[in-house]
Structure 1
Amino acid sequence: MASNKAVMALVVVALILGAGYWFSAREDGERAGQANASLDQGFVQGTPTPSEAVPRMVSASIPAEPPDVFRRYQCPPETGNCERNPNVAATPKEAQWLLAHGYPTVKQIQDLRMRSTADYREEYQRTGSKVVQSLYAMSLALDGEARTAIGLLWQGAAQGNVYAFHLLSDLYRRTEELANLITSAAYLRAAYLAGDSRAADRYAYQFGMLSPPENLLADKEAFRLFTTYGRGRNYPRP
């Protein structure tokens, strides 16, 4: 349990600083060579067969938000390079998109452990906020409840929480009991299919060591995950 908490702490730091912080070519090279070609089926039993339909575009209705939303989603000066950080916005419109699709701000992630998991659960049940849903799932994972977090994130992905795919990728990459490089890559590809263009940059940086056959496996699994959990809905990031 202690090792899992330590692993998840690294995930939170990674989400604050972007993929570059925790990318290690040496570690990933070793992991890629040992990647299990069989996709982790333990979590998908009983799920419906994904549709083969072409992903459909969804016109997401993003509500008008106060002007400080953009300020809260900008790159904090102390963070440094935010180039690959999916939680940072370059425009007010992009900030509203992040808010609507479950992306916490960098500050919210930094302050994650200042609140209890019970607090996040209560707020999520009361508000239905996708951002709080993401924070709740992250807090669950830090408490060693990775499988419960996965169920919550699957639910979120079906409701338009695109950030859920990023978190699922991190869980399958950094949680010892779940570790599966191909599944982790597939979830990040699913984030791209769901409309997050920045997921492509993270994928190239984190999974550039994958071989062509492994990339093919990840692509196939990504489409299945996208259509099963994301319902094949695409919300283009501004």
Structure 2
Amino acid sequence: MLSLVDTDAGKAMHALNLKIAMRTRRVVLSTAIVIVLVASTGCYRQEGSSAVEADPGLVTEQSSKAPNDRPSAGLPAADVPVAEQSAVLAYLCERGPVCDSDILGAKDPEEARWLLQNGYPSSEQLKRFNAMSDDQLKREADSGSLAAMVIYGERLVSEGDTDAGLVYIFDATQRGSIYGYYAMSSAYQNTPGLTSIVESGAYLRVAYILGDSKASQELQRRFPGLQQMEQAAIDRRASSLYQTFAQTRQPIPRP
């Protein structure tokens, strides 16, 4: 049977969770302050508007049109900005049945836009980021690219700078990246001193709760043969993370 939690990881996990919890409280407090300031100046946002992060030099992660105004199938419409059309096309998968399990692949433009808006890199973008030096990738991450933040965080974790890496990934999730939950799962699956099946599996479960149906397949791929007790522990931990880490964010189903 797979072990539920590596007991040697307890102290390290507790310390990291405390750090992340403190950052979560700061995010909530900052949000509250912004709301008060906006209300006091009489400013408002029209319903349906949203702020998303930009990925300089490659694609834009924001569209000037609301999702309901976009086509749901076929090639991107002519009235969609050229930059977004290019970004959407980069996610489309043309490998047949393989696309069904491809986390970064989309079967149609609607799914591609979902990936773009939720911080997933395209396959080509992932290759580009992985080929960058640490300094280059850090600049991309610090400029606000959600995908770069996650990938840079993963690189830091793999190089032993675990705390700093998890902070980058955490910040990406707080800005809207569902892809960041895959990275958190990987960190708790592969990092010495953090290894925990429950913690790793729970982050994938949160990605599923937030709308990514492929996260469930990924959980089974990473941890085949989970025992019923282990699955129950993962579900309990995921419920807690959804309330705290994800702050009960409204799910947006992957098309």
Normalised to the residue count of structure 1, the TM-score between the two structures is: 0.72
Correspondence for 1:72:
90
Given the superposition, is the C-alpha separation of residues 143 and 116 from structure 1 closer, same or farther in structure 2, using an over 3 Å criterion?
farther
Give the superposition deviation at 1:204: 2.6
Give the superposition deviation at 1:174: 1.5
User: Root-mean-square deviation (CA), in Å?
Assistant: 2.7
1:117-145 deviation digits (Å, cap 9, x = unpaired): 2222222323x221222222233234332
Correspondence for 1:149:
165
Query: What SS does structure 2 have at the residue aligned with 1:139?
Result: helix
Name which of 97, 103, 109 aligns with 1:86: 103
Normalised to the residue count of structure 2, the TM-score between the two structures is: 0.67
Name which of 16, 20, 26 aligns with 1:43: 16
Give the superposition deviation at 1:168: 0.5
Q: Residue 157 of structure 2 aligns to which amino acid in structure 1?
A: A
Name which of 191, 216, 220 aligns with 2:232: 216
State how far apart, in whole Å, the 2-side matches of 1:85 and 1:171 are.
20
Query: What SS does structure 1 have at the residue aligned with 2:239?
Result: helix
Given the superposition, is the C-alpha separation of residues 164 and 42 from structure 1 closer, same or farther in structure 2, using an over 3 Å criterion?
same
Name which of 113, 124, 127 aligns with 1:96: 113
Name which of 233, 242, 249 aligns with 1:226: 242
1:143-200 deviation digits (Å, cap 9, x = unpaired): 3323211112122222211011011101111122321111100010011111111111
Correspondence for 1:195:
211
Q: Residue 210 of structure 2 aligns to which amino acid in structure 1?
A: A
Name which of 147, 156, 176 aligns with 1:131: 147
1:186-236 deviation digits (Å, cap 9, x = unpaired): 010011111111111112332341111111110011111122121111222
State how far apart, in whole Å, the 1-side matches of 2:49 and 2:219 are.
24
> In 2, are the aligned partners of 1:155 and 1:229 still within 8 Å (CA)?
no
Q: Residue 147 of structure 2 aligns to which amino acid in structure 1?
A: V
> In 1, are the aligned partners of 2:92 and 2:109 still within 8 Å (CA)?
no
For structure 1, the residue ranges without an aligned partner over 5 or more in a row are 1-28, 51-58
Deviation larger for 82-91 or 94-103:
82-91
1:33-70 deviation digits (Å, cap 9, x = unpaired): x332877433222627x9xxxxxxxx895625532223
State how far apart, in whole Å, the 2-side matches of 1:123 and 1:206 are.
29
> In 1, are the aligned partners of 2:5 and 2:195 still within 8 Å (CA)?
no
Query: What SS does structure 2 have at the residue aligned with 1:176?
Result: coil
1:60-88 deviation digits (Å, cap 9, x = unpaired): 956255322232113376xx934322111
Higher relative contact order (CA 8 A, sep 6+): 1
Q: Residue 244 of structure 2 aligns to which amino acid in structure 1?
A: T
Identity percentage of aligned residues: 26
Q: Residue 181 of structure 1 aligns to which amino acid in structure 2?
A: I
For structure 2, the residue ranges without an aligned partner over 5 or more in a row are 25-47, 51-61, 64-79
State how far apart, in whole Å, the 2-side matches of 1:43 and 1:179 are.
13
State how far apart, in whole Å, the 2-side matches of 1:148 and 1:181 are.
22
Map residues 24-63 of structure 1 onto 2, 5 A cutoff.
32=2, 34-36=3-5, 40-45=13-18, 47=21, 61=50, 63=63
Given the superposition, is the C-alpha separation of residues 133 and 37 from structure 1 closer, same or farther in structure 2, using an over 3 Å criterion?
closer
Name the larger-Rg structure.
2
